[in-house]
């Protein structure tokens, strides 16, 4: 289900007492904890599929008749497992001066909606709202990034992994000093 001008009828969301819903919520909370604790290597190796598609499309301000205003071809981030691994590896070196000392980051994940995925029982479609609170060094004004994530989780070797993430940010211009965080 993409943000665009087309109308798509979504399958009914899973109830909160459905074990798949509980699995998805646990996954998102565990992911947020790993990222907040700067455990990016564990996040990548334990929760991200080798087949990952990880995108943050550019947002434009457009009239309602032209859709939601997200580019289908231009991205702030358009990542694969290899590029995510390169970002994580770089952060582990002494050359990551833009994040040394590291930012203080907190991921707030809310409004979690889980639906069955057309690919079958080993896939889940998960939508959530995200608010990222970030401060750098001695900054007194935090940076806030908010948006909606459209994820697909896939069961691989008995555990859920992130197969696809598209983060639709509420900002048209991202005013951070560097873009080293993960959504």
Residue 5 has pLDDT above 50, yes or no: no
Residue 97 has pLDDT above 70, yes or no: no
- The two beta strands, 70-79 and 104-117, are unpaired
Q: Which CATH architecture has domain 19-99+113-126+148-169?
A: Roll (3.10)
Residue 151 has pLDDT above 90, yes or no: yes
Residue 44 has pLDDT above 60, yes or no: yes
C-alpha to C-alpha distance for 109 and 5, rounded to whole angstroms: 26
Question: In the chain, helix, strand, coil percent, each to 5?
Answer: 25, 40, 35
Among 132, 79, 126, 123, smallest CA distance to 105 is for: 132
- Each residue of 152-162: pLDDT tens digit? 999 999 999 99
Cβ-contact 145, 171 below 8 angstroms? yes
| Predicted local distance difference test score (pLDDT) of residue 80 | 97
| Predicted local distance difference test score (pLDDT) of residue 165 | 98
Reported as a pLDDT band with limits 50, 70 and 90, residue 17 is: confident
Q: What percentage of the chain has pLDDT greater than the value 90?
A: 58
| Predicted local distance difference test score (pLDDT) of residue 37 | 95
Domain parsing of the chain, residue ranges? 19-99+113-126+148-169
Reported as a pLDDT band with limits 50, 70 and 90, residue 177 is: low
| Rg for the chain, CA atoms, rounded | 17
- The CB density around residue 129, as the number of other CB atoms within 10 Å, is 15
List beta partners, residue 166.
55, 150
- The CB density around residue 169, as the number of other CB atoms within 10 Å, is 21
């Amino acid at each position: 289900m993409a943000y665009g001008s087309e109308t798509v009828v979504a399958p009914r969301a899973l109830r909160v007492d459905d074990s798949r819903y509980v699995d998805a919520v646990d996954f998102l909370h565990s992911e947020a904890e790993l990222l907040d604790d700067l455990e990016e290597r564990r996040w990548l190796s334990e929760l991200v599929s080798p087949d990952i598609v990880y995108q943050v499309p550019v947002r434009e301000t457009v009239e309602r008749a032209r859709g939601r205003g997200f580019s289908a071809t231009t991205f702030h981030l358009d990542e694969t497992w290899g590029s995510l691994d390169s970002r994580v590896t770089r952060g582990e070196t002494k050359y990551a001066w833009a994040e040394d000392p590291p930012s203080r980051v907190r991921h707030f994940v809310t409004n979690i909606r889980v639906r069955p995925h057309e690919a079958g029982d080993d896939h889940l479609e998960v939508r959530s709202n995200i608010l990222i609170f970030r401060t750098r060094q001695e900054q007194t004004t935090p940076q806030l990034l908010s948006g909606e994530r459209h994820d697909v989780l896939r069961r691989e070797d008995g555990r859920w992994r992130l197969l696809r993430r598209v983060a639709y940010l509420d900002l048209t211009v991202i005013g951070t000093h560097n873009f080293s965080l993960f959504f």
